[in-house]
Amino acid sequence: MTLSKEIHSNQKYRFELETLLDTSRLLIESHDVDFILNNLLLISMGKLLINRAAVLWYNPRDRNHIVKTKKGRHTLPDSVSVPKEPFREKNSLFCRDHSSLSFLADHGIELLVTIKNNERHLGFLALGSKIGNQPVSSQEVRILESLVFMSGVAIANSELVEELRSTNRKLDYKVQELFTLFDLSKAFNASVDREEIKRIFKFTLLGQLFIRRFFLIIRRNDHPITVTRNGLDKPLTEPQMEELLSMDESIVRVDDELLRQYPYLGEHQIHLILKLHNEGGEPAIIGLGRRANGLDFEQTDFNFLISVGNLALMSIQKTYLLEDQIEKERMEEELHIARSIQQKLLPDKTPEIPNLQIAAINIPSYQIGGDYYDLIRDDHGNLTMAIADVTGKGVPASLLMANLQSILHILQPFDIGMVEATGQINALIYQNTPIDKFISFFWGRFDHEKRTLRYVNAGHNPPVLLRKDHDPILLSEGGVLLGAMPTMTPYEEAEIPLETGDLLSLYTDGITEAMNDGNEEFGESRLMECLKNNLDKDPHAILEAVISEVRSFSGEPFADDFTLIVCKVT
């Protein structure tokens, strides 16, 4: 080898090394695909003295190549269709040597070098001719292929770095979301003020996701209600809310078809509907308008919105539960007071009556009841006994019972016959109560000297008179229920003589209608049998026997008031 050839060879070798080293340094330092491709063009053109170059970037959607970047004068169109088959075995081809590539030669492109990334085709480095129309040598082609290979590796690294950056951004966003949800959870749980919870929810949507138009619908006492809304000109109607709550999907983007079905969504500019499913409760609906920053909703936004919605929903329902609990406790306290007052209207002890032993009891059910009984002794030692049952339960029944008690005590001192007195009581009850309220009532007057009982039964369970070795006598003479209709015909009065050992029992239907687990009533026959079996005992023992029988049959607590008066003639 001559000295000049050796010098020329060394220069070429140095050129190759310098080119590869310069390219490697640039590519390692960059993670920008556009920068890598731009420098690939500049280095290729500068080192080989090429007059024009371009990067044809593969577009997988259209399956063609677009001119991503170019240098020099070009007549290339914006996109070209370059077949990949000729490059299956080679990384570079001269365009004039292949008919399928000759159209590129017509645009001044002489050489194509494949840009690959892990065997994935990315595009081509398209090069024009060298200055002076010098041919590109095979050694220069190898250099170009090495440059392109390193560019492909750099592109792979840049994609990996970008993927890592994207992953880190997503992780940062997720961490931010978690911290936000944690702070929101503390804020929601710390408040029992529904207005404050709605304010936190509102500013979370405004500040975190730039949503200015929204509504939150829940179901309360079997009716849909809008808990909070913002940016809507008018509230949704109840039928509209029912339609939204009946949707099956959890995430619904409002499209043209849905707008035709629910035009009010368009009127309110609602873009997205999310369904919340809180555990063990009724579903709720969040309606959202578009974001103020113009960005569309993504899956991460859905997850965040549903989490925030569930936090707000649980906190709002907590306030309702708290209100319900306070209201329940208030009502229970009022019922307790009402029961106490009602019990004070009943006799605090049984009076002592000559020739008569008496035992009486009222066991209230868990509600305020309408049972009433009274035992009033007059100045002559005689006894007025009464028992009544007001229809229904609760405060209305207790008020009627109090009215009856006051009327009876007002009439008691006056010497009015039982027939007339019962008619007056009925008239007062009928005039001052609704048509669906009435009272079954029995009262009688025991004359201890004559040992007789005069009574009027106004539709009450007939008291039972038991005598040894005789059939039971039912005291049923009287008339209609109190308050059922005006006193059009006088009530009937009856008088019955009493003998030593006679047992008289007055009761309400809380005894006979007490039910067991099989929905079977205790009934009058069981009561009669119990009274007969204990006929020889004193009234208190008989009372306890009846209570024990009913408890054994139906259990406790009693579903209705239990009222019983037992009188025994001595």
CB-based contacts of 438: which residues, under 8 Å, 6+ apart? 390, 391, 429, 459, 481, 482, 483, 484
- Do the bridges between strand 79-80 and strand 494-497 make them parallel or antiparallel, or are there none, so unpaired? unpaired
Q: Tokens for 500, please give them.
A: 């030593």
Q: Give residue 400's Cα distance to chain centre.
A: 41
Residue ranges and CATH numbers for the domains of the chain are: 3-162 (3.30.450.40), 191-321 (3.30.450.40), 347-569 (3.60.40.10)
Q: What is the 3-state secondary structure (H, E, C) of 67-120?
A: EEEEECCCCCCCEECCCCHHHCCCCEEEHHHCHHHHHHHHCCCCEEEEEEECCE
Question: How far is it, in rounded angstroms, from Cα 239 to Cα 254?
Answer: 19
Q: Tokens for 172, please give them.
A: 């940062």
Query: How confident is the prediction along the chain (570 residues), in pLDDT tens digits per residue?
Result: 454 444 445 455 455 556 566 666 666 666 788 888 888 888 888 888 888 899 999 998 888 999 988 888 888 888 898 988 888 888 899 988 888 888 988 888 999 999 988 778 899 999 988 887 888 888 888 888 888 888 888 888 887 887 887 777 777 766 666 677 677 777 777 777 888 888 888 988 888 888 999 999 988 888 899 989 999 888 899 999 999 988 888 888 999 999 999 999 999 999 999 998 766 567 888 999 999 888 888 888 888 888 888 888 888 888 888 888 888 888 778 777 777 777 777 888 899 999 999 999 988 776 666 788 999 998 889 999 999 998 876 677 777 888 888 888 888 777 788 999 999 999 988 888 887 788 999 999 999 999 999 999 999 999 999 998 889 999 999 999 998 899 888 999 999 999 999 999 999 998 999 998 888 999 999 999 999 999 999 999 999 999 999 999 988 777 788 899 999 999
Torsions phi, psi for 123 (to 5 deg): 160, -155
Edge-first strand order for the sheet with 356-363 is 356-363, 562-569, 503-507, 464-466, 473-474
Question: How far is it, in rounded angstroms, from Cα 120 to Cα 401?
Answer: 93
For residue 137, give the 3-state DSSP assignment.
coil
> 361 with 541: CB under 8 angstroms?
no
Question: How far is it, in rounded angstroms, from Cα 152 to Cα 116?
Answer: 5
Question: How far is it, in rounded angstroms, from Cα 102 to Cα 124?
Answer: 15
Question: How far is it, in rounded angstroms, from Cα 394 to Cα 270?
Answer: 47
